[in-house]
Structure 1
Amino acid sequence: MNKLAGIDIGNDSIKLVLDGSKEPLVIPNIIAPGYERHILQEEDSPWKALDVTIYSPSLTQRNQRYFVGQLALEHEDNMELEDSDNKAVSDQSLIVALTALAYQGLMSYASGAAHGNTDEVEYVLGTGLPVRTYAKFHHQFEQRLVGEHEVTFHSTPQLRNRKIKVTIRKVAVSIEGAAAIFHLATHDSLLVRDEEIYNGCIGVCEIGALTTDFPVIQRMAIDNHFSHGEQIGIATYLDAIIRDIEDAYGYVFQSRAKLVQRIKNRQFTIQLIGEGQVDIRAVVDQHFRRAAARMIEMIRKRWRKYPDIQCFYVIGGGASALKPYIQDAAGALRLRFAEESEFLNMYGYLKVAKSRMSQTANV
């Protein structure tokens, strides 16, 4: 039986939720070369030690071993996506996405199937792309996902030496930001929850790690002319924070994700060599104020070009981090924010997939 899932293949993290579940899986979009680990104490969760070999016809290197997510977070040879990367064709994003789908398949394995030494799981997926890459790449993105892939777990606790075939039957690709608004406008049953959003003209500023999208949605339809995307996200400012802290204090963050964890937990004190400590809050504030000013400038620009927009939602993982700074920079400009902002696209992708599947079934 196919599992219906929404997966947000973000540049900072992969977020996955199964239909009927309220607990999303989040894996940092980071990988490092894998090898036989020298384990002194086994991790207390398989999520913390995703050590996999992935075979996929869509990958350039089809049978390589990787440390994924949390395990790669502080690895000296880890890789995070950069501005020039396109998630539609990125091997790294596919590696982390397939790891997430395999992991979730094994964790909810009661409804799966097994043949010999290989477990199997089948999916119908909803996912999305930024405004600027959707038109050109969404068919290629779909083709790379659809098909059979195989993931083998190595030193991962509870999953050691487990192999699973991940079969993706269908993929519904939508636009980042627009899917989030669809989620806000509808119930899980897809019935209308908010008439103003569903029938209105809504502007969106969806702040990601490497991109910021500005789709304009009129009665749940994308405006082709006025929807736009910028090749800048919060990662630009996180990288600047990391550089400034290293220059000033000699403290090195091995990844953006490591810095983001500290900011989310409001842990602004870093440890220096020689038992010294320093508070980095002022450095974070400085760059996040710059980021907020840039976002407000872009929102004003989009709203002036399309004055029929009734309200503007600021969403995404970047919006969660920058919310107080954006509110300060906005002044009299009224903007809307939403709870669990970083998960809105993921839930929207699930609903889009559910909607398209039901339409297909009714044809």
Structure 2
Amino acid sequence: MIKLAGIDVGNDSVKVALDGSNEPIIVPNVVAPGYDRHILQEEDSPLKALDVVIQSPKLSKRNQRYFVGLLAVENQDNTELEETDNKALSDQSLVVALTALAYAGVKAESASSSTFSGSDEVEYIIGTGLPVRTYAKFNRTFEERLVGEHEVTFLSTPQLRNRRVKVIIRRAIVSIEGAAALYHISTYDSLQIRDEEVYYGCIGVCEIGALTTDFPVVKRMSIDNQFSTGEQMGIATYLDPIMRDIEDLYGYRFPSRAKLVQRIRQRQFTIQRIGEGQADIKPIVDQYFSRAAVRIVEMIKKRWNKYPDIQCFYVIGGGAAALKPYLLEAAGSIRLRFVEDSELQNMYGYLKLAKSKSSQPSAI
């Protein structure tokens, strides 16, 4: 049975939603070289120890072992995507995406069945997306890299040890980040229109990711080719100097951006210094996030001035959730719209696009 999935291959994390499931799966887009682990106590969740070997004709290195997501976040040899990386071409993004889809598939199967073998097969039609500036040139390439047969073998992962999963992607519908989120905001799960103002209007979107900030202009649910644009800057542009300043001032080193983002989301701004001292990193975060907010609000103003027909601006994405109080302060009298679970809006939009396209022929 073919599953429908929305997958947001973000530069900070990969997020997956399956049709009919209420719980999204979120895996930090961080990998590290895998090796035999010395396990003193098994983790209480598979997501905490994604230890995989991936076989795929779309990867430059085949049959490689990787620590993925949370297991890689604190590994000193981990890698995170940089501004020069293109997620449509990135092996790392494909590794994390296939791992997340394999886990989502077996999790759904085990929820509906009490027995399973050491080998599974999951088939998908997926919806996904790319930034505005990447989409035109790379959407077909991204689609071709995703579609096909891949194999993920979980090694020391708890509850999935030595389980092999064939991930078959029958079709990938690639859309534009930000625009997909707007589709989700304006429709019900049944795909009927929920918000006519948004669905039929001329809406600006500011989608703040880790490495990119996209400004699609959506008119009656169609992308405006002339006025939609994107910038090669995101929240990571400011996370990196925050980490450097903390290390320089306090000697405390965050092993990855993902680790810092975890603390910011949990509002845990106190770090433990060597010995028994502590330090408050909030002033450093405030300094950089305030600068980020001013820059983003200026970009929104420029978009609105160039195209005054825009009725309203939605600010979404993982960066929007982190920067919201700073953006509101920087915006002053300019009203910006925010939504709950901001970082999940694209993922849910991709799932709805997969649902709407799945009954149509493959030529899209």
| d(CA) in 1 for partners of 2:104, 2:338 | 30
Q: Map 1:297-312; keep pairs closer than 5 Å.
A: 297-312=298-313
Q: Aligned residue for 2:321?
A: 320
Q: For residue 288 of structure 2, what is the aligned residue in structure 1?
A: 287
1:109 maps to which residue? 109
Cα distance in structure 1, aligned partners of 2:234 and 2:10: 12
User: Which whole-Å CA distance do the structure 1 matches of 2:334 and 2:117 have between them?
Assistant: 61
* Offset from partner CA, 1:50-91 (integer Å, 9 cap, x none): 000000000000110000000001000000000000000000
**1:1-363 paired onto structure 2 within 5 Å:** 1-110=1-110, 117-360=118-361
Seen in structure 2, the aligned counterparts of structure 1 residues 314 and 191 have a Cα distance that, compared at 3 Å, is: same
Say if 2:208 and 2:214, in contact at 8 Å, map to a contact too.
yes
CA–CA separation in structure 1 for the residues paired with 2:228 and 2:124: 30
Measure how far apart 1:274 and its partner are: 1.3
Q: Distance in 2 between matches of 1:154 and 1:171?
A: 28
Partners of 1:274 and 1:338 lie apart in 2 by 42
Distance 1:44 1:359 in 2: 41
Deviation, 1:109, is 1.6
Q: Find the residue that maps to 1:138 and give its secondary structure.
A: helix
Aligned residue for 1:358, secondary structure, equals: coil
* Structure 2 counterpart of 1:35, one-letter code: Y
Q: How far apart, in 2, do the equivalents of 1:333 and 1:358 lie?
A: 42
- The one-letter code of the counterpart of 2:135 is Y
- In structure 1, what is the Cα distance between the partners aligned to 2:360 and 2:342? 28
The CA distance in 2 between the partners of 1:2 and 1:358, in whole Å, is 12
Q: How far does residue 356 in structure 1 lie from its aligned partner after superposition? A: 1.0
The answer as to whether partners of 2:12 and 2:29 remain within 8 angstroms in 1 is yes
1:121 match: secondary structure: strand
Question: Structure 1: where are the runs of 5+ without partners?
Answer: none
- The TM-score normalised by the length of structure 2 is 0.97
Runs of 4+ in 1 over 6 A off after TM superposition: none
* Aligned residue-pair number: 361
Distance 2:155 2:347 in 1: 28
Deviation at 1:115, TM superposition (A): 10
Corresponding residue SS for 2:359: helix
Alpha-carbon distance in structure 2 between the residues aligned to 1:144 and 1:315: 27
Structure-2 change in CA distance of 1:115 and 1:248 (3 Å): closer
Q: Measure the CA separation in 1 of the matches of 2:191 and 2:54.
A: 35
Residues 309-347 of structure 1, C-alpha deviations (whole Å, 9 max, x = no match): 000000000000000000000011111111110000000
What's the CA shift for 1:357? Answer: 1.5
Helix, strand or coil: the match of 1:321? helix
Query: Percent of aligned pairs with the same residue?
Result: 72
Q: Return the alpha-carbon distance in structure 2 between the equivalents of residues 108 and 193 of structure 1.
A: 28
CA distance in 2, matches of 1:347, 1:156: 27
Q: SS of 2:255's equivalent?
A: coil
The range that moved more, 9-18 or 349-358, is 349-358
CA deviations over 1:112-150 (Å, ceiling 9, x no partner): 9x9984211101000000000000000000000000000
Residues 147 and 334 of structure 1, relative CA distance in 2, 3 Å threshold: same
2:146 & 2:281 partners in 1: Cα distance? Answer: 41
Question: 1:93 Cα deviation (Å)?
Answer: 0.2
